[in-house]
Amino acid sequence: METGKHTLIALMENRPGVLNRAVSLFRRRAFNLDSLTVGRTDCEEISRMTVVVQGTRAEAARLARELERLVTVIRVEPLNGRPAVERDLALIKVTATPETRSEISQLCEVFRARIIDVAKSSMIVELTGTETKIEGFVELLKPLGIIEMVRTGLVAMGRADNVLDRNGHASSWVAHRERVQAERRAGEVS
Amino acid sequence: MILSGAEILWKSLQREGVDLLFGYPGGAILPAYDAMGSYPGIHHVLTRHEQGATHMADGYARATGKVGVAMATSGPGATNLVTGIATAMMDSSPIVCITGQVPLPAVGSDAFQEADVAGVTLPITKHNYLVTEVEDLAYILREAFHIAGTGRPGPVLVDIPKDVQLAKTEFQPPEGDIQLPGFREPGPVPAHGVTAAAELIAAARRPLILAGHGVLLSGAEAELVELAERTETPVALTLLGKGAMPEEHRLCLGMMGMHGHASTNHAIQEADLLVACGMRFDDRVTGKLATYAVNARKIHIDIDPAEIGKNVPVDVGLVGDLKPVLARLLEELEPARHPEWMESIAVRQADERARDVVHAGHHAERLLAAEVMHALWQLTGGEAVNVTDVGQHQMVEAQYYPHRRPGTLITSGGMGTMGFAIPAAIGAKMGRPHEEVWAIVGDGGFQMTMAELATAVQERVEIKIALINNGFLGMVRQWQEFFYDQRYHATPMVNPDFCKLAAAFGIPAERVDRVDGIADSVQRAQAHRGGPFLIEFMVEQHDVVYPMVPAGSDLHQMIRRPAITAEGMKWKPASTR
Is A176 in contact with B136 (Cβ distance < 8 A)?
Answer: yes
Residue among A112, A118, A137, A72 nearest B180 (CA): A72
Check pLDDT > 60 for residue B75: yes
- What pLDDT is recorded for position A167? 53
Q: Which of B11, B126, B162, B242 is catalytic?
A: B162
CA B562 – CA B323 distance, rounded (Å): 42
Q: Which has the higher per-residue pLDDT, A177 or A48?
A: A48
User: CA–CA separation, B462 vs A51, rounded Å?
Assistant: 54
- Give backbone dihedrals phi and psi of B492, rounded to 5 degrees, phi first: -70, 145
| Total CB pairs under 8 A between chain A and B | 78
| B362: confidence class by pLDDT, cuts 50, 70, 90 | low
Q: Is B475 a catalytic residue?
A: yes
* pLDDT at residue B232 in the model: 97
Known catalytic residue at B255: no
Mean pLDDT over residues B190-216, rounded?
96
State which H helix or E strand residue B376 sits in. helix B369-379
| Better pLDDT: A186 or A160 | A160
Q: How far apart are CA A90 and CA A128, in angstroms?
A: 6
Q: Look at residue B410 and tell me whether its pLDDT is greater than 70.
A: yes
Does B571 touch chain A if contact means CB atoms closer than 8 Å?
no
Residues 6+ apart with CB under 8 A from B384: B376, B408, B435, B436, B437, B438
Calculate mean pLDDT across residues B217-242.
Answer: 98
How many residues can be counted in chain B? 577
Give the 3-state secondary structure of residue B468.
Answer: strand
Virtual torsion, Cα B227, B228, B231, B233, nearest 10 deg: 140
What's the Cα-to-Cα distance from A124 to each of A103, A153, B232, rounded to whole Å?
14, 18, 74
**Does the beta-carbon distance from B118 to A17 stay under 8 Å?**
yes
Kindly determine whether residue A71 and residue B133, on different chains, have CB atoms separated by under 8 Å.
no
Which residues, listed in sequence order, are joined to residue B54 by a DSSP beta bridge?
none
Rounded-to-integer distance, Cα A177 and Cα A162, Å: 33
User: B335 preceded by cis ω (within 30°)?
Assistant: no
- Name the closest residue on chain A to residue B151, using Cα atoms: A69
Chain segment B258-287, per-residue pLDDT in tens: 999 999 999 999 999 999 999 999 999 999
For B400-454, give the secondary structure using H, E and C: HCCCCCCCCEEECCCCCCCCCHHHHHHHHHHHCCCCCEEEEEEHHHHHHHCCHHH
**How much is the average pLDDT of B90-117?**
97
Q: What is the largest CA-CA distance in chain B?
A: 76
Average pLDDT over residues B395-404: 96
Q: Is B112 designated active site?
A: yes
pLDDT tens track for A71-115: 999 889 888 878 889 999 999 999 999 889 999 999 999 999 999
Radius of gyration, alpha carbons of chain A: 21
Full-model pTM: 0.93
Q: Which of B169, B175, B183 to mutate to test the interface with A (most CBs of A within 10 A)?
A: B183
Neighbours of A15 (CB within 10 A): 14
Q: Which residues pair with A150 in a beta bridge?
A: A91
Contacts of B4 (CB under 8 A, 6+ apart): B31, B35, B134, B165, B166, B167, B168
Indicate the burial class of B565 (C-beta count within 10 angstroms; 0-12, 13-18, 19 or more): middle
Query: What amino acid occupies position B396?
Result: V
Contact A68 B119 (CB under 8 A): no
The 10 Å Cβ neighbour count of residue A165 is: 9
**The pairing of beta strand B235-237 with beta strand B252-255:** parallel
Distance between CA atoms of residues B244 and A164, nearest Å: 40
CB B119 within 8 A of CB A27: no
For the stretch A17-76, pLDDT in tens is 889 999 999 998 888 889 999 999 888 888 999 999 999 988 899 999 999 999 999 889
Whole-angstrom distance, CA of residue A69 vs CA of residue A74: 9
Question: Is-catalytic flag, B162?
Answer: yes
The yes-or-no verdict on residue A169 having pLDDT over 50 is no
Q: CA nearest B99: which of B70, B124, B68?
A: B70
Read off the pLDDT of residues B452-498 as tens digits, 9 standing for 90 and up: 999 999 999 999 999 999 999 999 999 999 999 999 999 999 999 99
pLDDT in tens, B306-333: 999 999 999 999 999 999 999 999 999 9
Q: Is B557 a catalytic residue?
A: no
pLDDT digits (tens, 9 = 90+) for B434-463: 999 999 999 999 999 999 999 999 999 999
What 3 state SS string does A122-181 have?
A: EEEEEEEECHHHHHHHHHHHHHHCEEEEEECCCEEEECCCCCCCCCCCCCHHHHHHHHHH
Per-residue confidence band for B575, with pLDDT thresholds at 50, 70 and 90? low
B279 near B209, Cβ under 8 Å? no
The conformational region for residue B179 under phi > 0 = left, psi -120 to 50 = alpha, else beta, is beta
- Does the structure show a pLDDT above 80 at A188? no
Closest by Cβ to A176, choosing from B139, B182, B304? B139
Contact B305 A68 (CB under 8 A): yes
CA distance A86 to A79: 10
Q: Which of B184, B302, B312, B315 has the highest number of chain A CBs within 10 A, making it the mutation to test binding with A?
A: B184
* B135:A72 CB<8 A: no
Furthest CA-CA distance within chain A? 68
Where does the pLDDT of residue B361 fall: very low under 50, low under 70, confident under 90, or very high at 90 and above? low
Q: What would the DSSP string read from start to end of B253-299?
A: EEE-STTS-HHHHHHHHH-SEEEEES----HHHHSSGGGTTTT-EEE
Residue B384 in contact with residue B439, Cβ under 8 Å? Answer: no
Single out the residue of B468, B573, B472, B473 nearest to residue B518, CA to CA.
B468
Question: Inter-axis angle of helices B369-379 and B392-400, to 10 degrees?
Answer: 50
SS3 B364: coil
CA–CA dist B521, B515 (Å, integer): 11
CB atoms within 10 A of CB B191: 10
Catalytic entry in B7, B22, B36, B50: B50
Asked if the C-beta of B143 comes within 8 angstroms of chain A's C-beta atoms, the answer is yes
Would you put residue B481 in left (φ > 0), alpha (ψ -120 to 50) or beta? Answer: alpha
Contact B424, B410 (CB under 8 A): yes
In this prediction, residue B566 carries a pLDDT of 46
The pLDDT of residue B108 is above 90: yes
pLDDT at B380 over 90: yes
Of B562, B439, B445, B430, give the one whose Cα is nearest residue B493: B445
Q: Which entry of B256, B279, B475, B538 is annotated as an active-site residue?
A: B475
- The residues, any chain, with a CB within 8 Å of residue A167's CB and separated by 6 or more, are A11, A74, A75, B181
Give the separation between CA B540 and CA B543, rounded to whole angstroms: 6
CB contact under 8 A, B179 and A21: no
Helix (H) or strand (E) holding B316: strand B316-319
Question: What distance in Å separates the CA atoms of residue A172 and residue B137, rounded to the nearest whole number?
Answer: 11
Q: Is the pLDDT of residue B571 over 60?
A: no
Closest to B70 in 3D by CA, of B41, B100, B92: B100
Contact A172 B309 (CB under 8 A): no
Helix (H, G, I), strand (E, B) or coil at B162: helix
Q: How many CA atoms lie within 13 A of A97 on its CB side?
A: 4
Q: What angle do CA B32, B34, B40 make, to 5 degrees?
A: 90
Question: B553 burial class (0-12, 13-18, 19+ CB within 10 angstroms)?
Answer: middle
Using CB atoms and an 8 Å cut-off, which of residues 3-22 of chain B contact chain A? Answer: none
pLDDT recorded at residue B185: 82
Pick from B254, B211, B251, B215: which is nearest to B234 by CA?
B251
Q: What is the mean pLDDT of chain B?
A: 94
Test mutation, A43, A62, A173, chain B, max B CBs within 10 A: A173
Nearest to B459 by CA among B16, B22, B10: B22
Q: B167-181: per-residue pLDDT in tens?
A: 999 998 888 778 788
Q: Render pLDDT for B217-226 as a digit per residue (tens, 0 to 9).
A: 999 999 999 9
CA-based nearest residue in chain B for residue A165: B181
| DSSP class of B497 | -
* Nearest CA-CA partner of B383 in B528, B226, B246: B246
Q: How far apart are the first and last CA of chain A?
A: 66
Looking at per-residue pLDDT, the higher value among B290 and A174 belongs to: B290
Chain A hits for B123, CB-CB cut-off 8 Å, are 24-25, 28
B143–A171 C-beta distance less than 8 A: yes
B223: part of which helix (H) or strand (E)?
helix B221-230
Which of the four pLDDT bands, split at 50, 70 and 90, describes residue A175?
A: low
